[in-house]
Structure 1
């Protein structure tokens, strides 16, 4: 037996290490979520009430829909900073078309706007071979500018009650926004884990060169995630506009983008691509929602909320990096 044999781990050891690191990344967030849920339930009697939980879910619906799209983009090895701008533009277009044409047409136009922005991002990044971070940062600026021009920098209010049904309506006490969010999560989860397209995304994000050598159309697959992500950002934008009855160019801004990325990362989806799951993104969304909601209920300063938010995100990213090194 030589020194190399002694130093190298055996196959069973390597399997155990991969399983341990994967379990930490997959289920560590579930444990943290459960601990925080119990702690807030004990600390604040108002937390574990139907009204508070429904409000928290309703307020998280638009962000959650954006995060679902971001999950697909990240899994395929992409990055998108334009979803906040798309969110704002979709609301502006939906409101304007609703005022001048028809409410239903306006809502559909908002989603179509998201599809168009996503398609442009996908083509620029894949065919143009431009870095995703730089490309989507540029398109974000352009899209925000277009939204400001269309709205003249002002709110676009829609008085038609049909426009606010999607954002304010309820069925059996459950807001339509929450139902739409749940449908998006279920559909995206099925597509990602049960359909060929979803499995191809994991292959592309995990090793694009190997995927290309296997015959996969890497650029088309990666571009398609930007289209879906843009469509979902548009859907979230019209939900937000419907909720307040107005379209606003800066409705999303940088905060929405950062929160969506944070939710995806906290949920355990790697920002480097190749791994992730919709259910983990949902856990990440509600983890962040609980931090904000619990802080408000316990009267914790907004400054400290930012500190807690940043620490949670840092721990999530560090855990992903550590688990990837262990896996390799």
Structure 2
């Protein structure tokens, strides 16, 4: 009886390991595809527009992506649990309109902040009740809510713009150690979300629910209670994003926030690697997705791309990033 051994390759025969391919290693690294696309877009824009790397422009980008990042953080946790809330941008629009009205009428800032956050949380809770106890698909229920809340925001404003003067100006325009307050708030929200997903029972329950809700229920997880908490939290974060947007703009106007803001946040979360079907989500990927969207939007403005082409270019970049990220994610063991 003879034993056959695998033939040695030239590399293994000489005792040398197989040479690595740096490009493949980068793409196989966590979120490597997103990082590559982000670097390419940033380098191209920096070469074409000198103002891209100025401190004023970078601070402007950070302020712009702060609002999206807060909504995206709530979406990451909710989508990981198998849920979806398409009304967060519209919830933010309601917060902007109600907050601006209260401040314009002379209400104290602290009272306005508390009332608007409570209202936004209640809106999220109502979405959770509908999704949890009526069995209506989250996509359908929250998309309907989005249209409803967009209309509510228009009714509150009565089709007019409302300015708030210098109220909340510091939050939207001041910096701490050179970093905008809006960015600091967004980072805190993202860090807390990431820690909750990784180290708390609440976060582990979200992954379990997204993986298999029936099994999660059999394992003792209070699925209805967790769903209500997740949607209420998403509503609260939408309200916070609305207040951040109001502080940055200093006014509320028709179509501020709304579905466009929501779609941007959803795109950031999805291209960041969070599964639409639940069970998989990452805050780091969401951060990269938010930054990529912000850089692409800023690049379009700096390069003075015709508005007719901006959606085409932006959508193309996002599609390429999503495809690369999906291939990279499938190449990682366990995905």
Q: TM-score range by the shorter chain?
A: 0.7 to 0.9
> Residues of 1 paired with 2:153 and 2:300: CA distance?
33
Match of 1:165 among 138, 160, 170: 170
- The match for 1:247 is 252
Counterpart in the other structure of 2:12: none
The TM-score with structure 1 as length reference comes to 0.85
Contact 2:72–2:265 at 8 Å: present in 1 too? Answer: yes
Pick aligned residue for 2:64 from 54, 59, 62: 59
Question: Are residue 72 (structure 1) and residue 70 (structure 2) matched?
Answer: no
- 1:325 is displaced (CA, Å) by 7.2
Q: Which deviations, in whole Å up to 9, do the C-alpha atoms of 1:151-197 show, x marking residues without a partner?
A: 222222223x2332221222333221111111111111111112111
Take 1:156 and 1:307, find their aligned partners in 2: how far apart are those partners? 33
- 1:4-34 CA-to-partner distances (Å, cap 9, x unmatched) read xxxxxxxxxxxxxxxx9x9477332122223
Distance (whole Å) between structure 2 residues aligned to residue 293 and residue 158 of structure 1: 26
Change beyond 3 A, Cα 1:324–1:211: farther
| Displacement of 1:140 | 1.6
Match of 1:42 in 2: 47
Identify the residue that residue 20 of structure 2 maps to in structure 1. none
Offset of 1:279 from its aligned partner?
1.5
**Which residue number corresponds to residue 15 of structure 2?**
none
2:77 matches 1:104: no
Does the 8 Å CA contact 1:114/1:233 hold for their aligned counterparts?
yes
Counterparts of 1:290 and 1:136, CA distance in 2? 28
Q: Secondary structure at the match of 1:78?
A: coil
* 2:130 paired residue number: 124
Q: Using the TM superposition, give the Cα deviation of residue 250 of structure 1 relative to its aligned residue in structure 2, in angstroms.
A: 2.6
**8 Å Cα contact 1:265/1:313 also seen in 2:** no
Larger Rg: 2
Q: 1:246 to 1:219 in 2, by over 3 A?
A: same
Q: SS at the partner of 2:141?
A: helix
| 2:264 corresponds to 1:259 | yes
Aligned equivalents of 1:178, 1:222: Cα separation in 2: 28
1:302 aligns with 2:307: yes
Which has the larger helix fraction? 1
The offset of 1:90, in angstroms, is 0.5
The residue that corresponds to 2:97 in the other structure is 92
Q: Distance in 1 between matches of 2:120 and 2:170?
A: 21
In the alignment, which residue of structure 2 is the partner of 1:216? Answer: 221
Pick closer, same or farther for the CA change 1:32–1:309 going to 2, 3 Å. Answer: same
- 1:314 and 2:319 correspond: yes
| 1:66 to partner: Cα distance | 1.1
Alpha-carbon distance between aligned partners in 2 of 1:149 and 1:46, rounded to the nearest angstrom: 40
How many residues align structurally?
307
Given that 1:91 and 1:249 are in contact with CA atoms closer than 8 Å, whether structure 2 keeps it comes out as no
Shift of the 146–299 alpha-carbon distance from structure 1 to 2, 3 Å rule, reads closer
Unmatched runs of 5 consecutive residues or more in structure 1 = 1-19
Contact 1:103 1:162 (8 Å CA) reproduced: yes
Q: Distance in 1 between matches of 2:175 and 2:308?
A: 34
* CA RMSD, Structure 1 to Structure 2 (Å): 2.3
> Which stretches in structure 2 are left out of the alignment for 5+ residues?
1-24
Give, in whole Å, the separation in 1 of the partners of 2:231 and 2:243. 18
The equivalent residue for 1:272 is: 277
- In the aligned structure 2, how far is the partner of 1:176 from the partner of 1:26? 27
